[in-house]
């Protein structure tokens, strides 16, 4: 594993976090054509509803995780998003970010951490399952004709 530093994202990190958000959603067909800025707006990243963290190797950002807390303080549910820059995947960055996010959630009153992942994203599924995530919901969609 490489030696990383994980720090809260600053306003200067917003373009990188937005880029990572777009990368995390590239496997979702409905969102694949959207820009990083559109995805950030859709998710509420721009309005401060998310707490974001960036993983750094030396002076280079290599991945990001973002969390959104909801609910009462004793039953707080966090929703998580995570992405690692392509050249840094499979080096332990995702594991470090995920562990950091779980610790952060625990320390801030979290009881549950949830996420959405495409069933085609096998690398992410392996990571989440390895760290103890369990499937809890099947999401279904019906596509209406777009005319």
What was the pLDDT predicted at 131? Answer: 95
Mean pLDDT of the region 71-83: 84
Does 32 score more than 80 pLDDT?
Answer: no
Mean pLDDT of the region 104-131: 91
Q: Which residues, 6+ apart, have CB-to-CB distance to 70 below 8 Å?
A: 76, 77, 78, 79
More confident residue, 81 or 24: 81
Neighbours of 27 (CB within 10 A): 14
The answer to whether 117 and 129 have CB atoms below 8 angstroms apart is no
Task: Please give the model's pTM, rounded to 2 decimal places.
Answer: 0.82
Mean pLDDT of the region 17-46: 69
Q: Helix-strand-coil percent breakdown of the chain, rounded to 5?
A: 40, 25, 35
Does 97 score more than 90 pLDDT?
Answer: yes
Burial of 113 per CB tally in 10 Å (0-12, 13-18, 19+): buried
Written as six digits, the tokens of 129 are 């399952």
């Amino acid at each position: 594993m490489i030696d990383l530093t994980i720090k809260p994202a600053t306003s200067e990190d917003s373009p990188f976090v937005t880029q990572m958000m777009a990368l995390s959603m590239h496997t979702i067909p409905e969102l694949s054509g959207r820009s990083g800025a559109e995805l950030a707006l859709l998710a509420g990243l721009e309005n401060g509803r998310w707490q974001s963290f960036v993983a750094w190797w030396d002076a280079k950002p290599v991945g990001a995780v973002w969390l959104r807390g909801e609910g009462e303080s004793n039953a707080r549910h966090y929703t998580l998003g995570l992405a690692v820059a392509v050249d840094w995947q499979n080096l332990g960055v995702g594991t470090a970010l995920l562990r950091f996010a779980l610790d952060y959630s625990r320390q801030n009153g979290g009881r549950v951490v949830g996420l959405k992942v495409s069933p085609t994203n096998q690398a992410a599924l392996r990571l989440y399952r390895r760290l103890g995530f369990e499937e809890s919901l099947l999401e279904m969609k019906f596509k209406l004709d777009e005319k």
